[in-house]
Structure 1
Amino acid sequence: MAKEVLTLDNGTTCSSWNYSGTRLAAGSADGTLSIFDSRDPPSSSSLRLSFKSKVHEGNIVNIVWVPPAYGDAVACISVDGIVSLLEEVVEDSQPLQWKICKCFGSSSDKVLDVQFGISLASLKMVAAYSDGHMKVFELLDPLELKNWQLQAEFQNVIESVSSFGKAVCLSASISFNPQNGGSQESSFLVGFNSNTSELNSAKVWEFDQAHQRWLPVAELAVPEDKGDQVYAVAWAPNIGRTYEIIAVATHKGLAIWHLGLNPDHDGRLPVERVAVLSGHDGMVWQMEWDMSGMTLATTGQDGMVRLWQSNLNGVWHQQAAFEPTS
């Protein structure tokens, strides 16, 4: 039987576990950030509030943890498009504090999503903006989370030259390749929910070391679906497969894709849509893979949490569904 470990305050809008599952960050509609820690002993399943403070004027819509190699830090995205990067500060015998060390975005240049990834022993941050642009930042000093440098800026389009009007994007979703590490180049997946079809469909971007630029190496959309608005994307961990598995959610449902590892003569990676799953009533808001990359958890507008798996024949199905209790 499931055991309740924490009851969040009314007005909580988002939450996120850290990489080890020992800390929970929660954001509220009034802009308050709360940090909960596991109680002693470490095996305890209960949590205690260790920090609470207002960090934004508006609703916090998403929280992303920085990889643990760079300390305890989170990025909080507000509804007005501002990202605040906060890090834990311990000073002598003073109580635990979290302090803002960097802010990104503005009221006219709103950030919709951010994600962190490590490649070639450096921390990267990809931010998707409301005008359809993406910016890649690189941390200059691993001990100073305030020192970021803009590495690249581009739009989520396949062709280098695209003619379309001013884009208005309602949301965006980014997912780094979980296999990227200290000796590998970066690659990530991004999709937009916008009024501009060229930006929407999910695309895989990879850093070309030879030419020092980011290149689109795959588009996850069948021809008749190109331009569909994307609500969420998730790149699965790979524990030995000869291909990658990626989930993409649009208004047509949840699609599971296989991404090949060997590029063609144009540098593009082969893609295959292996399943289209229906079950949620309304749009899917968030998706998360387990550590093995075999089970996908999704949640959305219908308030349900659904788990998806493939059987031994590679056929995907809903394995379980949970309805939140009041």
Structure 2
Amino acid sequence: MVSVISTVDTAHEDMIHDAQMDYYGVRLATCSSDRSVKIFDVINGQQTLVADLRGHEGPVWQVAWAHPMYGNILASCSYDKKVIVWREASGSWEKIYEHGDHDSSVNSVQWAPKEFGLVLACGSSDGSVSILTYNENQWSSSKIKEAHSIGCNAVSWAPAVVPGSLIEPPSTQRPNIAKRLVTGGCDNLVKIWKEDNGEWTEEHKLEAHSDWVRDTAWCPSIGLPQSTIASCSQDGRVIIWTCDSSTGNTWNPKILSKFNDVVWHVSWSVTGNILAVSGGDNKVSLWKESLEGQWECVSDVSKGEGVIEGQQQT
């Protein structure tokens, strides 16, 4: 059974939209409609506020930690159409980059696997996805225009390993693995994108949801012969998409469950065998696939005092 082992009093003055632990699980970043991003040290059940980051001019929807090999770096996105990249240096946090090339709310940010470098994907209500890359001490950007016709709500990177690989090969033997993204949008679609020679093209369009897709999550799937993606929607459904690399390039959907309310977020465990689902029913549930291939709820927790809620962007 899932249990609440610690409660963090963030002192945010409005609704919290996202909370993310860092790679080592010792720091927590939160963001809120109060336009702030806060960072806490979380050690031995105790939390200490170490930074209160102010730079956004609207509700902040999401935060994302970069891999620690690049330092302590955090990205945030907001209704104010901006993406801000923050970095800790000498114990203090500072803004190192601001991206303001979107025409509407930026709803989702996620860093690429470390093997691809310091690369950030950003999905916006203007329908486009920006790819921000740090190289040779400067930032550059490219854009997938009209990725989703009436807005992009979620972005998630594919692992930087070939399906079926148990371990990552040495850099001298590593194949040139293409970057891939999965996105979800207000057009009810899940889309898979592939980069080829610096250009992003639509590789697959997955249709099964009947309302806005609120989140997508590409499973780590290390060692498995198939790729797996989870998506969730305002239609109350969570869908598991699988593609077996040995039999072709077709993605097959399976409904994990039909919930009684909107499902806001899906997130895989590091090992890829547990899926966490949170939604408007005020619950977080954990799901695992049985040996028979059926998805079963192995635990759930509800918090009566608060609501687990997603973005309210327009």
Q: TM-score range by the shorter chain?
A: 0.7 to 0.9
**DSSP-derived class of the 2:200 partner:** strand
Distance across 1 between alignment mates of 2:92 and 2:146: 37
Question: Relative to 1, partners in 2 of residues 1:317 and 1:118: Cα closer, same or farther, differing over 3 Å?
Answer: closer
2:55 aligned partner, one-letter code: V
Q: Deviations over 1:192-232 (max 9, x none)?
A: 12xxx4xx4111112224xx42232222225xx5x742111
Give CA-to-partner distance per residue, 1:129-183, whole Å, 9 cap, x none: 2221222222113xx4xx21124433327xxxxxxxxx542x5101101335874
Change (3 A) 1:252 1:283: closer
Q: Does residue 1:189 correspond to 2:182, yes or no?
A: yes
Aligned counterpart, 1:218 = 204
**Cα distance, 1:17 vs structure 2:** 0.7
CA deviation map 1:282-314 (0-9, x unaligned): 211111110111110011122211111111101
Whichever residue aligns with residue 93 of structure 2, its letter is: W
Pair 1:174-2:176 in alignment: no
1:257 and 2:257 aligned: no
Say which is worse superposed, 119-128 or 230-239, in terms of deviation: 119-128
**TM alignment of 1:45-84, pairs within 5 A:** 45-84=45-84
- Alignment deviations for residues 21-54 of structure 1 (CA, whole Å, 9 cap, x no partner): 1100112332222211134xxxx33222112243
Counterpart residue number, 2:310: none
- Mapping of 1:128-143 within 5 angstroms? 128-141=123-136
Task: Structure 2: state its 5+ residue gaps.
Answer: 162-167, 306-314
Q: CA RMSD in A?
A: 2.5
Percent sequence identity is: 23
Change (3 A) 1:275 1:30: closer
Query: Contact between 1:236 and 1:293, CA under 8 Å: does it hold in 2?
Result: yes
Q: For 1:154-165, what aligned pairs fall within 5 Å after superposition?
A: 154-156=145-147
Checking the alignment, whether the CA contact within 8 Å between 1:62 and 1:77 is kept in structure 2 is yes
Distance change (3 Å), C-alpha of 1:49 and 1:260 = same
Supply the AA of the counterpart residue of 1:256: I
Computing the radius of gyration from Cα coordinates, the structure with the larger value is 1
CA distance in structure 1 between the aligned counterparts of 2:190 and 2:38, rounded to whole angstroms: 32
| Aligned-partner SS, 1:238 | coil
- Aligned: 1:201 with 2:189: yes
Q: Deviations over 1:244-299 (max 9, x none)?
A: 111111215111111232585xxxx21111334123x3211111110111110011
Q: Deviation at 1:77? A: 1.4
TM-score norm. by structure 1 comes to 0.79
What's the counterpart of residue 8 of structure 1? 10
In structure 1, which of residues 265, 268, 271 is the aligned counterpart of residue 251 of structure 2? 271
Q: How does 1:23-172 map onto structure 2 within 5 Å?
A: 23-39=27-43, 44-90=44-90, 96-105=91-100, 108-118=103-113, 121-141=116-136, 144=137, 147-156=138-147, 167-169=149-151, 172=153
Contact kept, 8 Å, 1:234 with 1:246, in 2: the verdict is yes
| Structure 1 Cα separation of the partners of residues 254 and 84 of structure 2 | 38
Detail structure 1 runs of 4+ shifted over 4 Å in the superposition.
Answer: 180-183
- Cα shift at 1:107: 7.5
Greater relative CO, 1 or 2 (CA 8 Å, sep 6+):
2
Equivalences, count: 288
- Contact 1:233 1:247 (8 Å CA) reproduced: yes
2:182–2:218 Cα contact (<8 Å) kept: yes
CA contact (8 A) 1:80 1:107 kept: no
Contact kept in structure 2, 1:152 and 1:213, CA below 8 Å: no
Q: TM-score with structure 2 length normalisation?
A: 0.82
